[in-house]
Structure 1
């Protein structure tokens, strides 16, 4: 038994998404909101602990499917770090997105070296962070 990688949510519910994601966030998304963000992503890659069935790492991309994609989140649970899971998730996602013109992500300077090792280049960018919305916003009108 070990870690398996999947690109679909089949059989994954919010109960498999608990355990420490969004570490350090003062207002993290609930497991149900976390599931929703994965469901609405253009592409996802999941790392699953075969023994527990729980998701221990993930990466998501949002995209127009034509020219561009943005990778907003890559996380591996703290107790699973150092096993190459983040690298494997990133490589799997970059492989899936390779037909697009641009793949962008924003990250803190302390992890830029990690992404350089994955074949990405340093760039500049701009952002806005509405920390009061950090737990997530679900537009119920989209579900009508």
Structure 2
């Protein structure tokens, strides 16, 4: 497993299989664009298959705050420590930031607590018509 902090050498073809269970998932091309536009990114790659098997992104002002919108590992690579390693590497990337926030479903709270995070209240708004990242015509 190779971990890297950039999308250098990554193509949209290497991003197949993510956003499992989303009714209208982003395409691999849109996924590539969101990686490209993130403040920070850490990728897990299976070099033998030339495939990204996990990723985490952060959006930050670079001074005080960062938000982690995505942590995802392909199903066949789960429970192998890939997600934990992605989080740990992202926390290293964001070590100089005062507040690092993320939202997650209730069933994931224990996972993030094990990684040193604490549960907090949050508010959100979802525009499901834009879930794929492409505006419907």
Picking from 100, 111, 118, the partner of 1:114 is 111
**What residue number does 1:141 align with?**
none
Following superposition, the deviation at residue 137 of structure 1 comes to 4.5
RMSD: 0.9
- CA distance, structure 2, for counterparts of residue 49 and residue 119 of structure 1: 27
Structure 2: which 5+ runs fail to align? none
Residue from 30, 52, 65 that aligns with 2:27: 30
Note the C-alpha offset of 1:50.
Answer: 1.3
- Aligned residue-pair number: 135
Tell me, yes or no, if structure 1 residue 133 matches structure 2 residue 134: no
2:49 and 2:68 map into 1 onto residues whose CA distance is: 27
1:53 match? 50
Residues 54-108 of structure 1 show CA distances to partners (whole Å, capped at 9, x for unaligned) of: 0000000000101100000000000000100000000000111011110000000
Residue 12 of structure 1 corresponds to 10
Paired residue for 1:68, among 65, 88, 100? 65
Post-superposition, which runs of at least 4 consecutive aligned residues in structure 1 deviate over 6 A? none
Structure 1 residue 128: Cα displacement? 0.2
Please report the TM-score for the alignment, with normalisation by the length of structure 1.
0.92
- List runs of 5+ in structure 1 lacking aligned partners: 139-144
1: CA distance, partners of 2:28 / 2:22: 14
Per the normalisation by structure 2, the TM-score is 0.96
